Structure 1
Amino acid sequence: MVVSLLKKMGAIFSLNDPKWGRGSGNENDGNKPNTPSNGPPDLEDLWRDFNQKLNTMFGGKGAGSGGGRSPDSNGAKMGAGLIVIILLLLWLISGSFVVQEGQTGVVMTFGKFSHETTSGFNWRLPYPIQSHEIVNVSQVRTAEVGYQSNAKNKQPKEALMLTDDENIIDIQFAVQYKLKSAPDWIFNNREQESTVKQVAETAIREVVGRNKMDFVLYGSREKVAFDVSQLIQEILDRYKSGVQVTNVTVQGVQPPEQVQAAFDDAVKAGQDRERQKNEGQAYANDVIPKARGAAARLQEESQAYQARVVANAEGNASRFKQVLTEYQKAPAVTRDRMYYETMQQIFTSTTKMMIDTKNGNNMIYLPLDKLIGQTLSPDAAAPKSVGIPPAQEVTNANDLLRARDNHSRDREGR
């Protein structure tokens, strides 16, 4: 119907119509002024022909030379109905919209939430009955606190915060978030991005206020960021903002510029302290094992000395018991024997020699070099006496005593 109407209108208002501007053909040619057939049309004739064609389209008939005719009411109503239908179709078509991938459409009926739409082609009732708003739920949004666009472009009102030990620090961080509920994002809060930023600033101030300055400056930034992220999400969930926090990044933490030099000195002193502690620990790790080794060696040497002394004492005691037994059998012989042994030990340790000069004046040849060598090496003679049994030693001593007595008697007889 619409196509036929457009064709009809095109045929009526065709610019190729030779009657445009030259009347309807029912007029008396004698009443028209004499104009050339190929001249330009008159404006009055154009306007009159236009009105006649409109009347014809809506059911009326062109006016003749004798006066106008009454329009056809049914045709007029039909034309008006067609226009209304066209306008209605255009109005209905205005309710269609397209939602891109990663976006969500929120449809509202008289301003109240109605439903959500998925990506693709969608339709709603036209305005003013329904309206829609498209929200990008896949976009990662960022809220910056303490700076704008660049960490060097600081905002002191946002960046300066008070710690638990009443110190001031300068902190900059960024919060990245996405939307998990488009209706909550649209309807539950006004100025949503500003709300997220204020919540982030509130959360970081609370976390910083619960901790010491040293922990915030030199501690784990990941721990601070995690605590801030949890607190931001908790507050936004209470607000029903439809926001999901994905990441919190601490851009920078430092003391205020006015006291930066003092803090640098404190940091340097702390580093020196740690270095000295490490050096002391390294020295201790080097000295303590050596001391423990020396102590263990001394203990082993003392135990060896103890064992040697005890063994010598036990040997001396055993030898004394043997001597005691022999002494009880022959006290005089034992005394002489002990005397000889003692003198032998004494003379083997000295370079002097004793010679009997009373018995004769004969020249005695003494191999002094050999004697001195023997006296300087007493160990060579020691094993000979060690291997002699006690009984044999006593017999030898008795023989020596007899020989000495006989020699004395011979001298007295002379």
Structure 2
Amino acid sequence: MFGNGQQSNGHYSGGVVNQGASMKNAKKGIIIGALVIFLMLCVGQSFYQVKEQEQAILTMFGKVIRVDTAGLYFKVPFIQQAHLIDMTTHGIGIGYVIKDGQNITVDDEGVMITSDFNFVDIDFYLEYKVSDPVAAFYNTEDPAAVMKNMALANIRNTVVNYTVDDVITTAKGQIQSEVKEKLQKELSDNNIGITVVNLSVQDAEPPTQEIVQAFKSVETAKQGKETAVNNAKKYKSEELPKAEAEADKIIQDAEAAKQARIAEAEGQVARFNEMYEQYKLQPYITKKRLFYEAMEDVLPDLKVIITDGNTEQMLPLDSFNN
């Protein structure tokens, strides 16, 4: 019994030793596997491929180290980053979008006003590519969207200088050249990192009927305004001379009345002074003459009834004075 017990303890001790060795081997295998994976990641992060139509910006802690063209390059893993920039030519439509193989008009972009106050629906196709990968990557979040907004602004500023007939017929080439030149200058001034390859007018035609109708309403209102202004100017040109003439007549009449009153007053003063001089020479005679002259002015308009005071008056008395 005792011997059997010793034998059992021996088997137990051997099993424990074997289990511990297995665990150590497993841990060692995990560590080795992790190291292998890490080394593979390091190798994978240490090299990058730049294709023929690409350029790569190598940065470290956000700072540009270099710009690489096509080829295989080494970088410090997990510290340096390579940003691939597509250098091929791209194209976008302005005034329309392509959906299911069909060109769908975008009225907010394509409809523009001309110098003769008409609307035109004009579509452009813009081809561009990256000219400065660092500027395109760092200076704007979406350089293509910024470029499209600039293109729209320059197109509108150019089309507004032409009549609708010119835009639809003979001026397309000139408009293309002007817009391309303006857009390229604005892109360069703002350092967007994009250059214009080509800009062409795809189509130019009158806008939809709804827009035409709205424009006609605006034109009608504008013509109504002009008619009202012209009528007001005509009324002013007709009535102003009349009013000025009436004002001049009133002023002239007032001036004439003023001069007449002054002359009359001066005449009365002169007459009074003359009578006063005579009065000083012959006071009594002058008084009598003035009295008689006053009676001559007053008596012809008076009705005189002579009575003894006791005679009964009969009405009317006018017949007795005839």
**Could you tell me the TM-score, scaled by structure 1's length?**
0.44
The residue aligned with 1:135 is 85
Cα distance in 2 for partners of 1:89, 1:253 equals: 58
Q: Is the 8 A contact 1:144 1:197 kept in 2?
A: no
> Partners of 1:213 and 1:142 in 2: how far apart?
27
Which of the residues 50, 55, 59 maps onto 2:22? 50
Q: Distance in 1 between matches of 2:34 and 2:19?
A: 23
Q: Distance in 2 between matches of 1:255 and 1:158?
A: 14
8 A contact 2:115–2:163 mirrored in 1: yes
* Distance of aligned partners of 1:210 and 1:47 in 2 relative to their CA distance in 1, 3 Å threshold: farther
Matched residues in 2 for 1:151 and 1:111: separation? 43
Shift of 1:87: 4.0
By how many angstroms is 1:53 displaced?
Answer: 3.7
Counterpart of 2:129?
A: 178
If you compute each CA radius of gyration, which structure gives the higher value, 1 or 2?
1
Secondary structure in 1 aligned to 2:155? helix
> Residues 161 and 171 of structure 1 are in contact (CA less than 8 Å); yes or no, is this contact kept in structure 2?
yes
1:125 is matched by which residue type in structure 2? V
The Cα offsets for residues 306-359 of structure 1, whole Å up to 9 and x where unpaired, read as xxxxxxxxxxxxxxxxxxxxxxxxxxxxxxxxxxxxxxxxxxxxxxxxxxxxxx
Output one character per residue of 1:273-304: Cα deviation in whole Å (capped at 9) or x when no partner: xxxxxxxxxxxxxxxxxxxxxxxxxxxxxxxx
Equivalent residue, structure 2, for 1:73: none
Query: Quick check: 2:143–2:194 contact (8 Å CA) kept in 1?
Result: no
CA distance in 2, matches of 1:151, 1:125: 48
Structure 2 CA distance, aligned partners of 1:236 and 1:219?
28
Q: What is the count of residue pairs matched by the alignment?
A: 204
* Residue 45 to residue 146, structure 1, CA distance change in 2 (3 Å): farther
> How far 1:155 moved relative to its partner?
0.5
Shift of 1:49: 3.6
Which residue does 1:238 correspond to in 2? 189
**Counterpart contact for 1:107–1:116, Cα < 8 Å:** yes
Deviations 1:113-149 (A, max 9, x none): 221012111112222x221111121x11112111002
Deviation string 1:38-73 (CA, Å, 9 cap, x unpaired) is: xxxx9x887534125469x79xxxxxxxxxxxxxxx
Deviation at 1:206, TM superposition (A): 0.9
Return the letter of the residue paired with 2:118: N
Deviation at 1:83?
Answer: 7.5
Residue equivalent to 1:118: 69
1:259 and 1:156 map into 2 onto residues whose CA distance is 11
- Work out the CA distance in 1 between the residues paired with 2:139 and 2:118: 37
- Point out the structure with the larger strand share: 2
Alpha-carbon distance change, 208 to 86 in structure 1, aligned in 2, over 3 angstroms: closer
Deviation at 1:176, TM superposition (A): 0.4
The answer for the alignment partner of 2:168 in structure 1 is 217
Which of 120, 124, 136 lines up with 1:169 in the alignment?
Answer: 120
State the alpha-carbon separation in 1 of the partners of residues 172 and 123 from structure 2: 12
State how far apart, in whole Å, the 1-side matches of 2:198 and 2:179 are: 10
Provide the aligned C-alpha RMSD in A: 3.5
- Deviation digits for residues 153-186 of structure 1, max 9, x if unmatched? 0011111111122211111111001111111111
Give the match for residue 109 of structure 1. 60
Q: CA deviation at 1:248?
A: 0.9
Rounded Cα–Cα distance in structure 1 between residues aligned with 2:122 and 2:7: 96
8 Å CA contact retained: 1:106, 1:113? yes
- Provide the rounded CA distance (Å) in 2 between the counterparts of 1:52 and 1:123: 37
For residues 182 and 261 of structure 1, the distance between their equivalents in structure 2, rounded to whole angstroms, comes to 44
CA distance in 2, matches of 1:90, 1:103: 24
Cα distance in structure 2, aligned partners of 1:112 and 1:173 = 38
- How far apart, CA to CA, are the structure 2 residues paired with 1:114 and 1:213? 52
Q: Secondary structure at the match of 1:115?
A: strand
Indicate how the Cα distance of structure 1 residues 83 and 253 shifts in structure 2: closer, same or farther if over 3 A, else same. closer
* 2:135 paired with 1:157: no
191, 194, 199: which is aligned to 2:145?
194
Give the structure 1 partner of residue 95 of structure 2: 146
2:151 and 2:183 in contact (8 A); partners too: yes
Structure with greater contact order relative to length (CA < 8 Å, sep ≥ 6): 2
2:9 pairs, out of 28, 31, 42, with 31
Contact 1:151-1:172 within 8 A present in 2 as well: no
Residue aligning to 1:96: 47
Please give the alpha-carbon distance, in whole angstroms, between the structure 2 residues aligned to 1:221 and 1:172: 11
Q: Secondary structure at the match of 1:207?
A: helix
Q: Which amino acid aligns with 1:30?
A: S
**2:203 matches 1:252:** yes
User: Cα distance, 1:85 vs. partner?
Assistant: 9.7
Label 1:154 to 1:48 Cα distance change in 2 as closer, same or farther (>3 A).
same
